[in-house]
Structure 1
Amino acid sequence: MSAADEILDVVDADDRVVGQLPRGEVYARGLLHRCVFVLARNPDGALFVHRRTATKLVFPSLYDMFVGGVVGAGEGYDDAALREACEELGVASLPRPTPLFRFLYASADGAQQWWSAVYEVRVDAEVDPQAEEVAWHAFLPEEEVRALLDTWEWVPDGRAAYEELLRHRERPDRP
């Protein structure tokens, strides 16, 4: 089954499931669906940063500071975050990622939107990213990632999630 054939839950403006369709159709019609973003840190606190492969269906060859992806039909955000982190990092076992917050991502032109759950996980194991997903990777200090925000071409939704994370950290009412 190709990525475009994967079945996703279609959701409404309140993130309630209203149907199920193949990913390709969801993207083509700009329907609301669910995604997870997992910020992976090594024991020193450095962030896993990677460049996506040129064959990715969405945002090929761009950089990202998150691992993650779409939430499959009937799958919960928490399970998708763990699955995606293990798959993309090539690690057999990780602790369950810690949920941080959710937000509604909208592309600059407003044509694409998806509910986005942001997580964080500590990676103590050696990573071995999927070759079909990740063309290059490294753990970079967060200060370096911030310095590269305006230099590298980042996936728009990952950059938006990172900017939301920075705002989230500044909120006095956050847990």
Structure 2
Amino acid sequence: MSAADEVLDVVDENDQVIGQAPRGEVYARGLIHRCTFIHVRDGQGRIFVHRRTPTKLVYPSLYDMFVGGVVGAGESYDDAALREAEEELGVSGLPRPVPLFRFLYDSGGVAGKWWSAVYEVRCDLPVHPQAEEVAWHAFLPEAELARRLPEWRWVPDGLAAYERLRAHRVT
């Protein structure tokens, strides 16, 4: 099954499930769906940063400071966050990511809107990122990430989540 064929829950502006559809149809019709964003730090407090592969359906070859992805039909945000983090990092036995907040993201016509559940997790395991998802990766100190923000092309939804995460930590 291709990524475009994966069935997702379609939700409304209040994050209530109103149906299901294949991911390709969800994106093409701009239907609201659910995604997870997991902010991963290692034991030294560095942040996992990666560049997406050129084959990704949305935002190919851009950098991201989160791992994550779509929530499958009938799947909870919490289960999707753990599944996506383990898949993308190439680990098993990761602690359950801690939920922080949710927000509705509008992609401006790229792939509709999605409810974005933001999590954090510490990963002390050696990572072996999923080759289909991750073209390059590193754990970067926060200061290095801040230096790279204006230099690299970042996924817009990840940037929106990162800005909210920084504001969340201040409050």
TM-score by length of 1: 0.95
Residues 52 and 64, structure 2, Cα contact 8 Å, conserved in 1? yes
Shift of 1:109: 5.3
- Unpaired stretches in structure 1, ≥5 consecutive residues: none
Counterpart check, 1:41 vs 2:41: yes
Shift of 1:107: 2.0
Structure-to-structure mapping, 1:51-130, within 5 angstroms: 51-108=51-108, 112-130=112-130
Counterpart check, 1:146 vs 2:143: no
- Unpaired stretches in structure 2, ≥5 consecutive residues: none
Shift of 1:91: 0.3
Paired residues in the alignment total: 171
**Alpha carbons of structure 1 residues 5 and 48: separation in structure 2 relative to 1, 3 Å:** same
CA distance in 1 between counterparts of 2:149 and 2:39 reads 15
Shift of 1:168: 1.1
CA distance in 1 between counterparts of 2:111 and 2:53 reads 23
Cα deviation digits, residues 118-169 of structure 1 (max 9, x gap):
0000001000001111000000001111221111000011111001111111
Shift of 1:116: 0.3
Residues 30 and 111, structure 2, Cα contact 8 Å, conserved in 1? yes
CA distance in 1 between counterparts of 2:26 and 2:110 reads 15
Residues 30 and 109, structure 2, Cα contact 8 Å, conserved in 1? no
CA distance in 2 between counterparts of 1:127 and 1:11 reads 33
**Alpha carbons of structure 1 residues 163 and 112: separation in structure 2 relative to 1, 3 Å:** same
| Aligned residues: CA RMSD | 1.1
Shift of 1:108: 4.1
Cα deviation digits, residues 76-131 of structure 1 (max 9, x gap):
00000000000000001100000010011112458621000000000010000011
Which is worse superposed, 70-79 or 161-170?
161-170
Q: Percent identity?
A: 73
Residues 35 and 114, structure 2, Cα contact 8 Å, conserved in 1? yes
CA distance in 1 between counterparts of 2:97 and 2:44 reads 17
CA distance in 2 between counterparts of 1:92 and 1:107 reads 31
CA distance in 2 between counterparts of 1:131 and 1:111 reads 23
CA distance in 2 between counterparts of 1:111 and 1:51 reads 19
Secondary structure in 1 aligned to 2:55? Answer: coil
Residue 49 of structure 1 aligns to which amino acid in structure 2? Answer: V
Residues 40 and 48, structure 2, Cα contact 8 Å, conserved in 1? yes
CA distance in 1 between counterparts of 2:110 and 2:56 reads 21
Shift of 1:25: 0.2
